[in-house]
Structure 1
Amino acid sequence: MVHQTMSTSSNSAASASSRISSMFRVLFLAAIVGMLAACAAPPRYEPPPARVVPPGAPAATLPPADEAGPLPPARVQGKARWVPVRWSDLPGFADDALHEAWNAWIRSCERPSPAHAALCPEVRRLSIGAPEEQRAWLQQRLQPYRIEPLQGGEPLLTGYYEPMLEASRVPTATQQVPLYRPPADLNTRRPWYTRQEIDTSPAARAALRGREIAYVADPLDALSLQIQGSGRVRIAEPDGRVTMARLAYAGSNEQPYRSVGGWLLQQRALTDASWSGIKAWARANPQRTQEMLWSNPRVVFFREEPLSELDAAFGPRGAQGVPLTPGRSIAVEKDSVPYGTPMWLSTPGPLLALNRLVFAQDTGSAIVGAVRADYFVGWGLEAGEIAGRMKQPLALWVLWPR
């Protein structure tokens, strides 16, 4: 999956998804009050002091025996410097529910990085381990490195999600906005036609004729699907059946991505550049909606995939090639962090305060910088509201085999 910005049973996966959905309902209600505008620049984040283990604490909470030993040298990876640190430097390490992240790790082991492949048999065995065992194993087998940028750049965490849309296999009186498969000549013309040309050029329209997958009612919903790179659709078939499917990223016109929220801010048309703010502006200004859409020349094409019960418990496949796990998968700059790498993420909010184990399983054209991540929130309206408003400071650590 390229966007602009495992359990061993389906029952346990669905249970995890249910818990995540409940959490997001609570977080969503709390987040709407006093929300900072999405365009505000986040302050530089200094991680909180490490948690101090009190005398007499259980042995499972103590650092491993070699915590006081010499640290390995720093490493350079892409645009990042990896600086070795102690486990005690990771904020909230003793408090994360690691078992909730283990499904994402097992997914990563379907296509592991060469550096982490040897750990996968142990990862699978520990999927039923106690939290103390999982935590102790991490400390014994992995070395944390704090990520620092080599070329500056503001640390930033944003969010993304998977939209859920109603669609029709054929155009109707209310559903007339097409979602396309890649045109046959996509690789012979680079870049391909812009969004405006697709809407107005006879040649572009001819090239896309017969490539329609389904039709939705709102052009902003279609744009959201393209920005996120994937989505779930409930397609009404001509014979009355309903098909549940995932539309996955299959290519783009290779035009530059331009934020419609940024365009509206430049026009001084609004001050709330969240997705809900953009949709509210479009409803109030239908005569300018097309102009706003054309401000983003980039168009994404899709392929249709069946959506089984097990598939529905996870997100789309990220750039690593494995399904994303809500709350535990992130998109990173691939040159600075290899796909499949376990990482520690820390952010103080204001939308979500997080200290947790996550996995580098995706990337995106807007993910530029060593300390930059896009947090996969999940799917549906509530996840979309959170993802659309998430813009907050960030600290990241790579967890690398010793």
Structure 2
Amino acid sequence: MRTIRAIFCGAALLFATAASSQMMTPMSFEDLDGWADDDHAAAMVVFRRTCAQSATGDLVPDAIWQGLCRAAEFVPDARAFFETAFQPVMITDGNDPLFTGYYEPELQASRSHTDTFRYPLYRRPPEVAGTSAPWLSRAEIEAGALRGRGLELAWLADPVDAFFLHVQGSGRLRLTDGSVMRVGFGGRNNHTYRSVGRHMAETGLLPAHQVSAGAIRNWVRENGDAGRRVLNHNPSYIFFVEVEGLRPEDGPIGAMSAPVTAMRSVAVDRSFTPLGLPVWVETTTTDGPFARLMIAQDVGAAINGAQRADIFFGSGAEAYRQAAVQRYGGRLITFFPRSLLGE
């Protein structure tokens, strides 16, 4: 995380970083739409799950953070804890807010190559470990650059499903032998993520207002090899590992090495919001207005900006239905420890 210098300036808090300046405005809990009606105890359960390993870096001294974690274990009133321990602060960086969604796919798969299951998920090649230099691109890997090396973890029936599993970074594979394999992020090829949806809108392949995961899926499937070439506009490629020890009700492992929780975990840009902090999210979903206390427990290659976040909707078809069309404005309000702000 970049070094941050905090400066109080009247009613506003300014953060200056090595790359840019952001405005940070302290808020009251009364400013949070729906705060009193939320299930604060449910958010507390999720907060405790990653509190001890919070990646707050230099911004929140460890002594302050561990004190909060110990207090959180014993408080009888979750709402009172959050109101007493934290100061809501809205961070802006001049960019428009955007709240998208992600989910854990459930896909049919095989541990071996068959006529039906022909599209591999790869483990990370050993030569990629420990380097940040761009390696082979998605197009090169899809053309067979890794074929025959024994790096295949599992095989899928649909190349479009494989692409979107890369976007999500984790999934449940229902194998032909009846078992379930959980797969998670195992590394990347170090190419910069490029949005296929934005590319399709800019080139006229899809109207900008119709771009969604579902629309991209349909277009690619309808256009065969040409559709698959469009996916290669994104040179970034994800490698996977088999994840063991998760209960069926657990979400996938997030950036804090713990399972994320449906509708309570959110991916953020940790250049602005340190992982582990509570955040208040106000946006819209397919079910209507959404206002909820969530915990910043994940990151994503496309999640960049102070008011940019990705809501974890859960696993399976219903979660996909919601996440695939989630693309709304709103506001993200980060909770900073009051003791850090000198209160």
Aligned residue runs from structure 1 range 330-349, under 5 A: 330-349=266-285
Matches within 5 A, 1:183-262: 183-187=125-129, 190-200=133-143, 204-206=145-147, 209-236=149-176, 241-262=177-198
- Asked whether the 8 Å contact 1:246–1:307 carries over to 2, the reply is no
Q: What does residue 82 of structure 1 align with?
A: 24
- The corresponding residue for 2:313 is 377
Q: Give the superposition deviation at 1:134.
A: 2.1
Aligned equivalent of 2:241: 303
What CA deviation, in whole Å up to 9, does each residue of 1:293-344 have, x standing for no partner? 22222110011112543xx322222222222111011111112111100111
Determine the structure 2 residue equivalent to 1:353: 289
- The answer to whether the 8 Å contact 2:160/2:221 transfers is no
Percentage of identical aligned residues: 37
- Counterpart pick for 1:108 among 50, 53, 60: 50
Letter paired with 1:317: I
Q: For residue 74 of structure 2, what is the aligned residue in structure 1? A: 125
**1:144-155 map, 5 Å:** 144-149=88-93, 152-155=94-97
Counterpart amino acid of 2:69? Answer: C
Note if contact 1:275-1:385 (Cα within 8 Å) is conserved in structure 2. Answer: no
Structure with the greater alpha carbon radius of gyration = 1
- Paired AA for residue 288 in structure 1: A
Match of 2:109 in 1: 167
Q: Do 1:77 and 1:336's aligned partners in 2 also have CA atoms closer than 8 Å?
A: no
Say which is worse superposed, 96-105 or 265-274, in terms of deviation. Answer: 265-274
Query: Retained in 2: the 8 A contact 1:346–1:396?
Result: yes
Q: CA deviation at 1:82?
A: 2.6
- The structure with the greater share of residues assigned to strand is 2
Q: Which runs of 5+ in 2 are unaligned?
A: 1-9, 57-61, 339-343
Separation of aligned partners in 2, 1:273 and 1:109 = 37
Give, in whole Å, the separation in 2 of the partners of 1:97 and 1:175.
Answer: 43
Q: Which amino acid aligns with 2:85?
A: R
Note the aligned Cα RMSD (angstroms): 2.3
TM-superposed deviation, 1:348: 4.3
Return the alpha-carbon distance in structure 2 between the equivalents of residues 116 and 80 of structure 1: 23
Alpha-carbon distance change, 366 to 183 in structure 1, aligned in 2, over 3 angstroms: same
Deviation at 1:262, TM superposition (A): 2.7
Count of residues paired in the alignment: 316
Partner-residue secondary structure (3-state), 1:249: strand
Q: Which residue in 2 is equivalent to 1:59? A: none
Shift of 1:351: 5.8
User: Partners of 2:137 and 2:316 in 1: how far apart?
Assistant: 28
Q: Normalising by the residue count of structure 2, what TM-score does the alignment of the two structures yield?
A: 0.85
Q: TM-score, normalised by structure 1?
A: 0.73
Gap change, CA 1:109 and 1:72, over 3 Å in 2? farther
Q: Tell me, which stretches of 5 or more residues in structure 1 are unaligned?
A: 1-70
SS in 2 for 1:258: coil
Question: 1:284: Cα distance to partner?
Answer: 2.3
Give the Cα separation in 1 of the matches to 2:218 and 2:98: 26
Structure with the bigger RCO (C-alpha within 8 Å, sep 6+) is 1
Query: 1:256-291: CA deviations, max 9, x gaps?
Result: 222232333234233332222222223322242222
For 1:189-248, what per-residue CA distance to the aligned partner results, in whole angstroms no more than 9, with x for missing partners? 9311112212336xx235x62000010000011101101111111223xxxx43322111
SS at match of 2:38: coil
